[in-house]
Structure 1
Amino acid sequence: MSQIPTLDIRRFTEPTSQADADAFVAELGAAYREWGFAGIRNHGIPQALIDDAYRVFSQFFALPEETKRQYHVPGGGGARGYTPFGVETAKGAQYSDLKEFWHIGREIPRDARNADVMAPNLWPEELPAFREVGYDLYEALDQLGSKVLSALALHIGLPGDFFADKTDQGNSILRPIHYPPITTPDIPNVRAGAHEDINLITLLVGASAEGLEVRSRKGEWVPFTADADTIVVNIGDMLQRLTNHVYPSTTHRVVNPPGEKARQPRYSTPFFLHPNPDVVIDVLPSCITPDNPSRYPEPITAQGYLEERLREIKLK
């Protein structure tokens, strides 16, 4: 594979034959084994919902700084609400990322078993549409992510519903991001430093400008700007650990564009699909072979792993 593939998920969700569904599973699995990334088209999420979400998210980021900061939760690790510009820092990076963002989490009853580690959402009072549009997009991406996980489970010999009861109360996050225009020449920071994601899989819906780059197995940075109707889905560290690196969590970054393009803002909205907080991440026996012995003898809960990583990226 010389480039990151884009696949039609209707071959899996609405197959013309079992053979076509099986072929999709094989092609998707091969893409993730090679790249850790793939594009998904014909995903069924209405373009109108995506457009509405980007409109209302950009309206939020255009609010005055003091207004946005009212929704920052000190000590909350960025779990809900607003995280200001220049806070998050890629693991091992010297400089912070050039971005601000908001976190929408799963809506759960406050007496649910994981309520102590899944805080209630905050919603900006200045934009009444933010809640409805933002959570509609959250739920649509959550459902799409479940379909991708089902195909990945089948590819490694597990039942298609293997992840269903492990993610139905997952601490997943929708993150609208604003990368402001870059007006300082020769700034050492980049919009998002080279990193791997923490979660099971990430679904990136839309991006108003290029900049995403993925590091290949050869160590080369490969630009990946998807078509407008395509959602980029990549493997996170939790799934890499669970599958003993059968599915690699690939390093990626968002670079600063050249020339006048740097003076344009960039918006993107990833959805980080997480397991339920109390799920134990332990290497799957089917992913242990003589050629690939277990790399992680000690299991860890999803919540324990998340907290460990949040400290590393300066959110806790």
Structure 2
Amino acid sequence: MADFSSIPVLDWSLSQGPQKPLFLSQLRHAIINVGFLYLKNHSVPASLVDKVKDYSPKFFDIPQEKKDKLRMANTPHFLGYSRFGAEVTKGEIDQREQLDFATEYECKYKEGDPEYVKLWGPSQWPDDEDLPGFRATMSEYFDHVATLSYRFLELLSESFGLAPDALSIFLKDPNDLCHRGKVVKYPALVPGSSDQGVGPHFDPGFLTFLLQVSEQPGLQVQNHQGEWIPASPVDGTFVVNIGKGLEAVTKNIALATSHRVLSPPIGSGPRYSVVFFQSISQDVRLSDYHLEFPEEVVAMQKARGDGKADSVNYGEFKTDLSGVANLISRIKSHPDVTEKHYPELFAKYFPNGMPLKASAY
């Protein structure tokens, strides 16, 4: 079984010139055998990344009552603010607070539509007088990362021996996608508390682009033997990883890898990060599509084998529509939103009423 003890670093600039074959070879190895990589020299302007890094801590410094006005339960889109300790992963409380937001999008739900259509909609933002420029900066950044994610997916297809547009059927019209993400704060560890910033989990969808804002370590990736490999911040890079949706549609050739975040050490400062989750069309069922891969790509997947993982989630991508899979994961994570906006689904998934803890994993 092929395994890894470090996270590969790929140079995006190689993909734009005569060394593109080298980049594709490195990408194929990273996607099949690791499921994680650092991406340097990417196309998102460094000045914009610096602005995002500057703004990220500032959101958490605004008064608590102003953050609470943005609470996720205000809307059916599962977008908004979550207080510290509001989520649970693998049965333990996550030691973080966060603001979930998305690319600009107006909800298209109308009476009679599937419930999952409600999932996509406008974000909740702090007032500009409280945090001037925050919304504009984060929205501009997300637009740039979305563009990068489309090009990355084309190169990923090529690295597998497929046409560049082989996966575009799952995105359909990029102008009708609501990419999701969050800005997160992980406070430093307090004596006697759990060190679970966020517990072992997989990501949904196709691609995740993570900006590690601060220098605090904590992100760890689980290799095939079950060992936890650090993915510490590397200046000027994104961490890119594969979601369960892409794993499902490639019949496990692309690897979704379990990962977690540990709280920063006692006495250190908090860790901040900004995450972009590439969405795919809500009304596609990934199991309805069959992609043919070259023999050498299939051989690489077979040589890798199946590894160990501490987390299991998003299995619905193998059987249900993408929108259903994503909605179920949100429902399990946020029963307060579900109770208010999806009462029938709340009764289905929480027949005993509001749980003391909720967990998608």
TM-score tier after normalising by the smaller chain length: 0.7 to 0.9
Write the mapping of 1:269-288 to structure 2, written as runs, cut at 5 A.
Answer: 269-282=274-287, 284-286=290-292
Distance 1:78 1:120 in 2: 8
Write the mapping of 1:123-134 to structure 2, written as runs, cut at 5 A.
Answer: 123-125=125-127, 126-134=130-138
- Select the residue among 227, 248, 262 that pairs with 1:241: 248
Match of 1:305 in 2: 325
Distance 2:261 2:92 in 1: 14
Distance 2:37 2:236 in 1: 13
Distance 2:139 2:317 in 1: 38
Write the mapping of 1:128-277 to structure 2, written as runs, cut at 5 A.
Answer: 128-164=132-168, 166-167=170-171, 168=174, 169-183=176-190, 185-208=191-214, 209-261=216-268, 264-277=269-282
Match of 1:11 in 2: 14
Describe the shift of the 1:82–1:24 C-alpha distance in structure 2 as closer, same or farther (beyond 3 A).
Answer: same
Matched position secondary structure for 2:232: coil
TM-score normalised by the chain length of structure 1: 0.87
Write the mapping of 1:61-72 to structure 2, written as runs, cut at 5 A.
Answer: 61-72=60-71
Partner amino acid for 1:140? H
- Cα distance per residue 1:16-40 (max 9 Å; x no partner): x2xx212211210111111110111
More helix by share: 2
CA offset at residue 215 of structure 1?
0.7
Distance 1:193 1:67 in 2: 28
Partner amino acid for 2:272? Y
Distance 1:9 1:60 in 2: 30
- Count the aligned residue pairs: 305
Describe the shift of the 1:298–1:142 C-alpha distance in structure 2 as closer, same or farther (beyond 3 A).
Answer: closer
- Ranges in structure 2 where 5+ consecutive residues have no aligned partner: 111-115, 303-314, 339-361
Distance 2:107 2:75 in 1: 17
- Cα distance per residue 1:190-241 (max 9 Å; x no partner): 1111111112111011331111111111211111114211111000111111
CA offset at residue 105 of structure 1?
1.2
Distance 2:229 2:283 in 1: 36
Stretch moving more, 232-241 or 203-212: 203-212
CA offset at residue 111 of structure 1?
5.2
Distance 1:150 1:297 in 2: 21
Partner amino acid for 2:27? L
Match of 1:55 in 2: 54
CA offset at residue 150 of structure 1?
0.9
Matched position secondary structure for 2:119: coil
CA offset at residue 165 of structure 1?
5.1
Matched position secondary structure for 2:292: helix
CA offset at residue 189 of structure 1?
4.8
Matched position secondary structure for 1:303: helix
Write the mapping of 1:20-35 to structure 2, written as runs, cut at 5 A.
Answer: 20-35=19-34
Stretch moving more, 159-168 or 218-227: 159-168
Match of 2:124 in 1: 122
CA offset at residue 7 of structure 1?
0.7
CA offset at residue 161 of structure 1?
2.0
Indicate if the aligned counterparts of 1:280 and 1:302 stay in contact, CA closer than 8 A.
yes
CA offset at residue 313 of structure 1?
3.4
Describe the shift of the 1:52–1:68 C-alpha distance in structure 2 as closer, same or farther (beyond 3 A).
Answer: same
Distance 1:245 1:312 in 2: 25
TM-score normalised by the chain length of structure 2: 0.77
